[in-house]
Structure 1
């Protein structure tokens, strides 16, 4: 017998809440599980754009040189 429905994340969109309620199955989620990871990722993207890391990666990757050997 199903005892609980858990959704990792903020929303409960994939769950039919009405049906679960009629069957007496509790539904839970983890609304703050990824908060820090999302903030860290956003900050990393901002820094990457500010420092133009994509341009540096492209010029290194397309140069045909061995980047490790250049270090």
Structure 2
């Protein structure tokens, strides 16, 4: 799917330099993948403390099924 985007040329040059990618497409693809991964990780971190931990739960016994 071809998409035309107006991307700041200086920003794109920096992305190419920092990423080590040889093409603009590869640099943008990598940047999008990393952006998505970071946002997904942030959502996981938002769950920290959201679950009550049962101190009496014996997780080792569950391993020996």
Name the TM-score, length of structure 1 as normaliser. Answer: 0.36
Q: Which has the higher helix share?
A: 2
Higher Rg of the two aligned structures: 1
Higher relative contact order, chain-length normalized (CA < 8 Å, sep 6+): 1
